[in-house]
Chain A
Amino acid sequence: MAHAAEAHTEHGHDDHAHDHHEIGFWRKWVFTTDHKMIGIQYAVTGLAFLFFGFGLMMVMRWSIAHGSDALPGWCGTFLHAIFGDTVFDKAVDPNTKALVGYSLSTTGYNVFGAMHGTIMVFFGIVPVAFAGFANFVMPLQLGAIDMTFPRLNMASFWSFFISCVIMMWSFFVEGSAAKSGWTNYPPLAGVADQSHAVWLNGGTLWLLGMVFNITSSLLGAVNFITTFIQLRAPGMTWGRIPFFCWAQFITAYLLLLAFPPLESAAVMNLFDRVFGSSFFMPTGLVTNAVGTDGNPLLYSGGGSPILWQHLFWFLAHPEVYVLILPGIGMVTEIIACNSRKPIWGYKMMVGALFALAFLSFIVWAHHMYMTGMGPKVSAFFQTTTIIISIPSVILLTALLLSLWGGSLRFNTPMLFASAFLPMFGIGGLTGIPLAFNAVDLYMHDTYYIIAHFHYVVAPGTIFAIFAGVYHWYPKATGRMLSETLGKLHFWGSLIAINCLFMPMFMQGMGGMHRRWWDGGKGNYEATVAPWLHWNEKISTAAWALGLVQLIFVFNFCWSMFRGRKVPNDNPWDATTLEWDTPSPPPHGNFIKPIHVYRGPYEYSVPGADKDFTPQSEPPKDSHPPENKPPHA
C-alpha cells in the first residue's frame, strides 16, 4: 500500500495552489468554501451554543437550589424580558404581595432542561468537536488542499445554521420551546404544545430543527469520509495517518449511519404532530391536552411509543461515541506532542476505534431497561454493553501509558488533555454498574446518571475541546493564547467541575430524581432529606464554573488581536502536517509540495537531530523521491 500511494503521479495540488486571487468579503467570510473558514464558523457557532446551553443550566440550578425564589438582581428581570411569561413566573413577596422579581416557572424548567440537552449535544459539542475541528485540522493533517466537496461543505454549514435559527426561534413562539426532554419521548412529545394556536409550536420546531441538523451532519460525514480516503498526500499511507484523523473518520461513519433512523423518527413524529397520525400514539391514549380547534386531542391509536425510543437510541448511543471520539483524537495528538514520545499502541488504538464503532450500533437498548423488554433482550444488551467497555479501556490505557517515561511539557493544552484522562475514566467506570439492568432499575433517572454522562461529556469532551482550542489556536489565528490566563482557566474549571458533578453521584445513590424542578424540596423532602443541602453547593459550583469560563472568553477574544505572535509555524514542535503550513494557512493550505515519509508520532527518535521529526521531512540517508513533483 505504501508503494502504491507513493508511486502514483496524478496528484492533488495545483502548482498555483498558493496563488493569491482576491475573494470578496462574502465569499471569504460568510459563504466560504474554504474548509478552514467553515471549521472556524462551526467552532465559533458551536462554542456560542455551548455557553448558551450552559447558561440555561445555570438558571435551572437556581431553581433546583432555591425553588421559586426570585432570581438574584437584574437576572430575573432580564431573562423575563427575553423569554416571556411562559418561562418565567412572577415571584411575589408572601406578606406584602409586592413583585420582588422573577423565577423560572415549572414549564420553564422543562423547556430549559430539554433545550440544555439538545443544544449541548447537537448544537454545541458535535459542531465544535466534530465539524469544527475536523474541518479545520483534518485536511491539513492529511496534506489535502481542501475537502473533497467544498460546496457541499458550505451547504452543510448553512443547513446547520438554519437548524440553529429554528431552534432559537422556537424559544419565542407561543408556549416557548420544546419541553419533553432532549430525548423527546412520545406520547408526551406528541401532545406537548398542541394546544397553542400556532401549528409551528415548540415541539414541531424542535423536530424541524433536528431534520436540518441531521441533514447537515449527513453532508459533513460524506465529505469527511471521502476526504480521508481520497485526499491523503502522497506517502500518507493508512499507517501514517494521525490518530485524530482516524477518530474523526470513524465518527463520520457513526453520523452517516446512525443519524438517518432518527431522521425517520423525526418525520414520523412530525406526522403525528402535524397530520394527526398515530405512529407513536398508542390505542386508547387519554390526555388532557387540547388541539388547535379546542377539542380534546384524540388519536386513531395503534402506534407505539417504544418505536420512538428504539429509533432515537439507535442514533443516540452511537451519538455518545460521536461526542467522545473526536475528543479522544484531540487528546491523543496533544499528549503525543507534549510528552515528546510516540503514542503507545497506535495500531491497537485504531483497532479499538473500529471495535467501538461496530459495537456502538448494538448496545442502544441499554437506555431502555425500564421499558420492560424482558430478561432475554436485556441480557443481550447487557453483554454487548460490557464488551464495549473493552475498546474504551484500550484507548484510555494506551493514552495513559503514552505518558510513561515521556518528558512532559505542561502547557495549557497538555493540562486539559491530561485532566481528560482521569475525568473520562471516572465517567466511563461509573457507567459500568449502569450496564446491568438490575442496578439500572434503581439508578435510572437519578442524579447518578446525570453525573455519569456529564463526567464523560463535560470534563471529558469539553476539556478535550479546550485542549484542542489552546493547541490549534496559534495555527488558526497566528497568535498564541495567553498561557497565564489559560492555566487560571484550567485550574478553576477542574476544581469547579468536580465540585459540581462529584456530589451528584452521592445524591443519585441517595435516590434523588433528576427531573425535580425544585430539587426535591416540595414533595419529596422526606425521601431525600440528607441530600438536599448539596443542591445549593452544587449550584454554587456551577456558577463558579460559569465565571471561570469568562476567563476563556476573554482570552479567546483578546488574543485574537493582542496575543503574542507565533514564534514560527510550528510553535509546539509537533510532527504532523498541519504545522508545515503558514499560520494561518492560506487558501489551498500548503505553500510547498507536500510528501509524507514517516509515521505521525516520530518524537525523540534516537539519533535524530532534534526531538521531533516532521512527517514531511525526507529520510537523511536517501535522496528525495525520483517521481515528479507531487503536485504536478
Chain B
Amino acid sequence: MEIPYTVRPRPDTGLANPKLGIWLFIASEVMLFGGLFAGYIFMRLGAEPWMWPHGWLNVPVGTFNTFILIASSVTVILAWESLKMRNFKAYKWWLFATWACGLAFLGVKLGVEWPAKFNHFGAYVKKEAAAKYEAYLGNEDATDEHGKVTEEGYRSRKGYPRLFISGHPKAWKDVTDPKVDKIVLSGVDEENHTPRSAEHDRAHFITRDPVHLHEGHEVVLDKKDLIYGYGPFYPKLNTYLACYFMITGLHGLHVLGGVIVFLFFWGPGAKLYKTNPEQLCNRIEVAGLFWHLVDLIWIFVFPIFYLL
C-alpha cells in the first residue's frame, strides 16, 4: 500500500504531500512563536523602566551566531541544489556544512552565552535601602566627599529602586542558602552607577570588566535589602531574562531538531539517493523549509533581545 503524491505533486493541486504538510506546520510554528513574542511585548510594555535591562547580552557573539545561522540557510539550499543536479558528493559537503553550522550555533549558545548568565550574580536593591549601597559603589554623582549619599544624588533616582548590582559573589553558597542573610561581592560590574543620564536609567552594562574593589572594600549585600529573585541571571531575576531563556530555549530546541534531521539525511538517510533521489531531494527541501523558519525566527530574536 503506497500513499500517493509523496514525491510527485498531485496535478490538480500542484502540491506534493510533504510540502503542503511542512507549510501547515510552519503556519502553526508561526502562531507558536507569535504567542511567545506577544508575551515578550506584554512583558516589555508592562515592565517598570528600571526593570527592563539593556546591554546584558554580548552583541558580537550574537552577531556571530546570526551570521552562522544565515550561512547555514544558504548551505542547505546549495545541498538541495546539488541533489537536484544529482551531484551527491557536493550534497554531502553542503549538508555537512549545514549541520555543522547548526551545531556551532548551539555550541555558542550553550557553551558561551548561557553559562555567562549562570556565573553572574545580580540583584535589584529595594528603594528604601538603595542609599546604603551608593557609597559602596563610589558613585561620585550621588555621594559627597565623605561617601555619603547626598539629598540631590538620591533624588535623581526619582525614588525608584533603580539600583541594580551585579558581580561576583565571594561564595555562591551564601546566595543559595536561605539561612545566610548576607552576600559578599568581591568584584562588581561597573554599570548603571551614574543616575544623571536618562539613557542609562535602567540596568545597563557599560563594560564587561568587573571592577575589582580594593581589598577590604567588598560590597556586603543584606538579603533583606534585595528584591526577591536575586541570584544568577536566571529567569526569576526579571521578566527580560524569563523571555530570553524561554524564547532562545525553544528556538534552540528547534535548531537541535533541525540538526538531528540533517544528521540523519547526511548519514543513514542518504542511502535513499540510490533508490529514489527525487524523494531525498524533496526531503531536503522540506527540511530546508523548516530550517529557514528557524533562521527567520532568529532574525526576530536577535534584535529584540540583543539590540533593542
Contacts and interface: CB of A to CB of B under 8 A. Distances in A.
Contacts of B245: 271, 275, 277
B28 interface: yes
- Of listed B15, B46, B245, residue having the most chain A CB within 10 A: B46
B39 A311 contact: yes
Given A4-B12, A150-B3, A279-B242, A299 B236 contact: yes
B21 interface: yes
Interface stretch (B185-193, B196-204, B227-235, B289-297): B227-235
A311 B38 contact: yes
B183 to A, nearest CB: 16
Contacts of B24: 221-222, 225-226, 256
Contacts, number: 173
Interface SS, A side: helix
A260 B48 contact: no
A297 to B, nearest CB: 9
B2 interface: yes
B3 A278 contact: no
B3 A145 contact: yes
A17 interface: yes
Interface in B1-30: 1-6, 8, 10-13, 15, 17, 20-21, 24-25, 27-29
Contacts of A303: 43, 46, 239
B60 interface: no
Interface stretch (A7-15, A107-115, A325-333, A401-409): A7-15
Nearest to B14: A4
Interface in A555-601: 587-588
Contacts of A526: none
B250 interface: yes
A183 interface: no
B11 to A, nearest CB: 4
Given A277-B235, A278-B242, A303-B239, A148 B32 contact: no
Contacts of A17: 1
A218 interface: yes
Interface string B120-142: 00000000000000000000000
Interface residues of A, number: 61
B229 A300 contact: yes
- Of listed B8, B38, B178, B250, residue having the most chain A CB within 10 A: B38
Interface stretch (A262-270, A371-379, A447-455): A262-270
A222 to B, nearest CB: 5
Contacts of A16: 1
A432 interface: no
A277 B236 contact: yes
The interface size bin for chain B is 35 or more
A302 interface: yes
Contact of A264 (B1, B25, B36, B234): B36
Interface string B206-242: 0000000000000000000001110000111111011
Interface string A48-66: 0000000000000000000
A98 interface: no
A599 B39 CA distance: 47
Interface in B40-93: 42-43, 46-48, 51
A4 B11 contact: yes
Contact of B17 (A11, A230, A304): A230
B15 A230 contact: yes
A12 to B, nearest CB: 4
Interface string A258-292: 11111111011001000111110001000000000
B32 A261 contact: yes
Contacts of B6: 148
Given A222-B21, A276-B229, A229 B15 contact: yes
A300 B227 contact: yes
Contacts of B34: 260-261, 264
Nearest to A282: B46
Contact of B242 (A145, A226, A277): A277
Given A14-B2, A302-B239, A230 B28 contact: no
Contacts of A149: 3, 17, 21
Given A222-B24, A268-B246, A302 B228 contact: no
Contacts of A307: 38-39, 42-43
A127 B43 CA distance: 35
Nearest to B4: A12
A146 interface: yes
B171 interface: no
B33 interface: yes
B195 to A, nearest CB: 21
Interface in A125-160: 145-150, 152
Contacts of B46: 302-304
Contacts of B20: 225-226, 229-230
A221 B28 CA distance: 10
State the 6 A-B residue pairs at the shortest beta-carbon distance, nearest first.
A264-B35, A277-B242, A300-B229, A261-B35, A260-B32, A276-B236
30 contacts: A1-B12, A12-B3, A146-B1, A147-B3, A148-B3, A221-B24, A226-B24, A229-B15, A230-B10, A230-B15, A231-B3, A231-B5, A256-B27, A257-B27, A257-B28, A260-B29, A260-B35, A263-B32, A264-B33, A264-B34, A268-B39, A271-B242, A276-B229, A277-B236, A277-B246, A279-B39, A300-B227, A302-B51, A302-B238, A307-B43
Given A265-B39, A307-B42, 8 more contacts: A10-B10, A13-B1, A260-B28, A260-B29, A260-B35, A264-B36, A278-B239, A302-B47
